[in-house]
Amino acid sequence: RKEVEQDPGPFNVPEGATVAFNCTYSNSASQSFFWYRQDCRKEPKLLMSVYSSGNEDGRFTAQLNRASQYISLLIRDSKLSDSATYLCVVNNPTGRRALTFGSGTRLQVQP
């Protein structure tokens, strides 16, 4: 089983739509969770951290479910500029002291 699993998509949605991505992780001891955004042929950049109580940043809402070991990202009122690949990222406290990245979910927002 992969340490971090995501649906690769693509998710094709119209502008203004609400879209949600889920991600599951295998290490129950993980403590740090993030969503990164990666544009085509660019480096990954932090979109938002994910906190236990859930958190919101403008049109973006992240949720964490520790019992089921999944993380979600909700994007409301999608913009063309949201088209990108979204990477679910989890830390690995019981092994290598580095972040583990999912393969990413590709989002394409259409006019």
Angstrom distances, CA of residue 64 to CA of 39, 49, 58:
24, 10, 18
Q: Which of residues 44-83 bind other proteins (CB under 8 A)?
A: 44-46, 49
Quick count: other Cβ atoms within 10 Å of Cβ 63? 18
DSSP state of 42: S
Q: Measured from the CB atom, is 14 or 97 closer to other proteins?
A: 97
Where does this chain touch other proteins (CB under 8 A) — which range of 21-29, 61-69, 76-84, 95-103?
95-103
Give the integer Cα–Cα distance in Å for 6 and 17.
20
Where does this chain touch other proteins (CB under 8 A) — which range of 12-20, 42-50, 56-64, 70-78?
42-50
* Interface contacts to other proteins, rule CB under 8 A: 4, 8, 31-32, 34, 42-46, 49, 87, 91-93, 96-104
